[in-house]
Amino acid sequence: MEKIEAVATLGQDELLKPARVKAALAANDRLKLYLSVLQAADARADKGDVPPLELSREFAAAGLSAPWLAELPASAYREGRILHLPEFARLTALLREDLRTMARPLEGDAGFDARLSTWTAWLERLAPDALAPEELHALVSGKRGREDSIHLLVMDLHKALNHVAAELSSETIDGAHVWQLEPADRARVAAFMRGLNATRALKLDHPGLDTAATCDGERLLLQNDIGTNDAHVLVIQVQGQRVSLTYSDLHRRRFSFFRTLLEAVGAAWSDPQSRITAGLNAGEAYYVGVATFDCRDEEHLQEVLEGIGSRIVFLIDWNRARKRLEKFVAKPLALAVLTEVAGRRVGHTSWLAAGGEKLIFGAMQALGTDYFHLGDRLDEVIGDERAKAFLVDAFALATDAMQQHQPLALIADDVRLLLARYLRRNDEFDLLAEHAAYCHALAEGIRDALAHGHERERKAARAFAERAKDWERRADQLVMDARARAQTRPRWAGFALLVQTADDVADALEEAAFLLSLLAADHHQGWRGEVQQAMQALAGAVLGGVQDHVKAIAIARGFGEASSAEDHEEFVAALWRVLNAERQCDLLLREVRRALAERVSDAATLSLSTDFAQALEAATDALLSTGYGLRRLAFSRAGVGE
């Protein structure tokens, strides 16, 4: 006679509850696997070319060794609407047995007793090898409504068992309800709870994170309820130096998110196909996966448990946060934000509690139509990188403020100031800096081409001219972008004019690159040493002027209330160097002309060389005009006098 039954004969049912709860939780694992097999069989019968579902990890996690059950999907076929399943009678027997095992700790609950009786009787009436569509739906449907299902019964029993487990707990370890633990497992439970408690406060007053732990033979079982969703389940098994985690979720993106979080702790997940079971919730995918961690020693095992525990809080309300973020940024960027804030242990719950999307919309509206219009998305206006950085900082700000119990109105003001700082710190200067980078690439390329003698190498000169043309086209596109923004945002008008002036620099340098390719195309009869030296000196001076232009923009980007007199002095000094470069290039152009007149007799070479040098000098004329415009605009935006 089994010990459980022996105790039952003594009338001490209370003594049986822990063992029955453990048995019920094990039955829950098996029941979920049975339903997964049925759904896999349904999918396989619909599409015979679908690869067989790999459920070996799920079978191992459920403690099942049943080859016939694993092979059932491959043998399923459909005639008309009827799904034929060899060995289905064996499966219905298992379903009835494990439903009773799972419900046993809850005997006396009228609702569960009635549902159990209804469904076990229904299972007995099923055909031994066939299922109609409505019968399959009654087995696997997870959609709540007027109709019950076996899957819904399993989920409801599981939730109720968690409450029973908490009531059975003989003690708690750092908040976890535990019973019948082995001495060696106490430290493991404490490690898991150490991680869980390190981030628990981030959920605020949201329900969830209750933990129960017990032993089943040599296995430590840890159950966390995550939140209120019935289909959102996390179970951890520890045996020897291996940790196995079974996770289920209705939301594919949240599953992928959690998978990424646990991979940072060393998780090896089952194949993605084995985690997806179609047919639940009116066709919505239902995802199940098993992650395993093979640990080197006890210390590593406890680190893994702590790492798992610390990441669970970021699942709470995750999908709600994702949907709200997607009002401001594209889906991949929303996922990147949520992953980043989880990595920083900031999370998203405080942002939602403080207003969520209202915080961001309010900040955008407060800045007015100079920055944002109705329907604008954050990433489209300020770019992906800045949008992500701002949102991550906004989440961190909301988390700190909620932990300090600051008023919501104050949090909203802080987010508005944060967005204003992001825009003031970079805004239009980003576009101008990008344009200047293309000018720098052109000037540096010309300097290097002369240093390597490309005026005598047709292939190299032509290749550089093609790259230069591509850079010049990209610079032109930035000019068009600035003009388009100026049409709807008045504050962009000054920058649009400035970028247009700066584009003369790019045009002149691209023209010089083109002329260099002509010189190399059999027209060049050779530059004597003095001509070569003068040309290189001119190209070097142009590059120096462009470098100071880039530096001046970088300084101007930081202008604001916090900028110092030293910043202003350095900015002016960079602009003066641009002025000196223009004057120096005037003189160097004359030196080039003199050298050409003395050393070059070929008419084509003389003409092309002169045009090449004049194009370089014209670039510094445009640089000077751009510098004056930048000075006026930067000081105006910074609120300082010239």
159 inside domain: no
Contact 191, 340 (CB under 8 A): no
- The answer on 398 and 304 residing in a single domain is no
CA-based nearest residue to 23, from 90, 92, 94, 105: 105
Residue in the structure block whose two tokens are 């084995």: 274
Q: Counting beta carbons within 10 angstroms of the beta carbon of residue 218, is it exposed (0 to 12), middle (13 to 18) or buried (19 or more)?
A: exposed
507 inside domain: yes
Domain boundary among 84, 118, 151: 151
113 inside domain: yes
Q: Quick one: tokens of 584? A: 């120096």
- The answer on 147 and 74 residing in a single domain is yes
- The answer on 474 and 368 residing in a single domain is no
Contact 358, 300 (CB under 8 A): no
Going by C-beta distance under 8 Å and a sequence separation of 6 or more, which residues neighbour residue 226?
Answer: 208, 209, 232, 233, 234, 312, 315, 316
Domain boundary among 367, 395, 424: 424
∠ CA 101-102-107, nearest 5°, is 85
CATH of the domain at 518: 1.20.58.220
- The answer on 629 and 569 residing in a single domain is yes
pLDDT for res 387: 92
- The answer on 597 and 477 residing in a single domain is yes
The whole domain housing 520 covers 429-638
DSSP string, 64-80: ---HHHHHHHHH-EEET
- The answer on 472 and 593 residing in a single domain is yes
- pTM, full prediction: 0.56
- The answer on 252 and 146 residing in a single domain is no
Residue in the structure block whose two tokens are 């200047």: 436
* Strand residues in 515-618 grouped as ranges (E): none
* Strand residues in 211-310 grouped as ranges (E): 211-216, 219-224, 233-239, 242-249, 268-269, 276-280, 284-294
Contact 131, 88 (CB under 8 A): yes
- The answer on 442 and 571 residing in a single domain is yes
Q: Quick one: tokens of 610? A: 């002169």
268 inside domain: yes
DSSP string, 283-324: TEEEEEEEEEEE-SSHHHHHHHHHHHHHHGGGGTTHHHHHHH
- The answer on 361 and 275 residing in a single domain is no
- The answer on 436 and 407 residing in a single domain is no
Q: Is 422 left (phi over 0), alpha (psi -120 to 50) or beta?
A: alpha
pLDDT for res 444: 94
Q: Quick one: tokens of 452? A: 């390597």
pLDDT for res 638: 56
pLDDT for res 14: 45
- The answer on 597 and 457 residing in a single domain is yes
Strand, helix or coil at 214?
strand
158 inside domain: no
> In this structure, how many other beta carbons lie within 10 angstroms of the beta carbon of residue 420?
14
CA-based nearest residue to 415, from 357, 329, 491, 348: 357
H or E stretch including 83? strand 82-84
Report how far residue 181's alpha carbon sits from residue 161's, in angstroms, rounded to the nearest whole number.
18
Handedness of CA 589, 590, 595, 598 (dihedral sign): positive
Q: Using H for helix, E for strand and C for coil, what is the string for 134-197?
A: HHHHHHHCCCCCCCCCHHHHHHHHHHHHHHHHHHHCCEEECCEEEECCCHHHHHHHHHHHHHHH
Q: How many domains does the chain have?
A: 4
Report how far residue 397's alpha carbon sits from residue 376's, in angstroms, rounded to the nearest whole number.
23
* Number of residues that this document lists for the chain: 642
Kindly state the DSSP code that residue 522 receives in the 8-state scheme: I
Q: Counting beta carbons within 10 angstroms of the beta carbon of residue 68, is it exposed (0 to 12), middle (13 to 18) or buried (19 or more)?
A: exposed
Going by C-beta distance under 8 Å and a sequence separation of 6 or more, which residues neighbour residue 194?
Answer: 174, 306, 309
- Helix H segments across 348-428? 349-353, 357-367, 378-382, 384-403, 408-425
Domain boundary among 369, 396, 424: 424
7 inside domain: no
Residue in the structure block whose two tokens are 């605009």: 633
Contact 27, 257 (CB under 8 A): no
- The answer on 412 and 347 residing in a single domain is yes
Contact 246, 235 (CB under 8 A): yes
One-letter amino acid for residue 466 of the chain: E
55 inside domain: yes
Contact 166, 209 (CB under 8 A): no
Report how far residue 211's alpha carbon sits from residue 544's, in angstroms, rounded to the nearest whole number.
65
Going by C-beta distance under 8 Å and a sequence separation of 6 or more, which residues neighbour residue 133?
Answer: 81, 83
pLDDT for res 271: 67
The rounded average pLDDT for each run of 10 residues, N- to C-terminus, in the chain (642 residues) is 34 54 88 90 79 74 83 89 92 94 91 95 94 93 86 93 78 86 92 96 88 84 71 82 87 90 93 46 62 95 97 94 95 96 94 94 83 83 88 95 90 88 67 90 94 89 94 91 76 84 95 93 72 94 94 79 70 90 94 90 88 95 91 68 48
Contact 631, 586 (CB under 8 A): no
Going by C-beta distance under 8 Å and a sequence separation of 6 or more, which residues neighbour residue 542?
Answer: 443, 446, 447, 509, 581, 585, 616, 617, 619, 620
Contact 347, 202 (CB under 8 A): yes
164 inside domain: no
CA-based nearest residue to 210, from 287, 309, 118, 306: 309
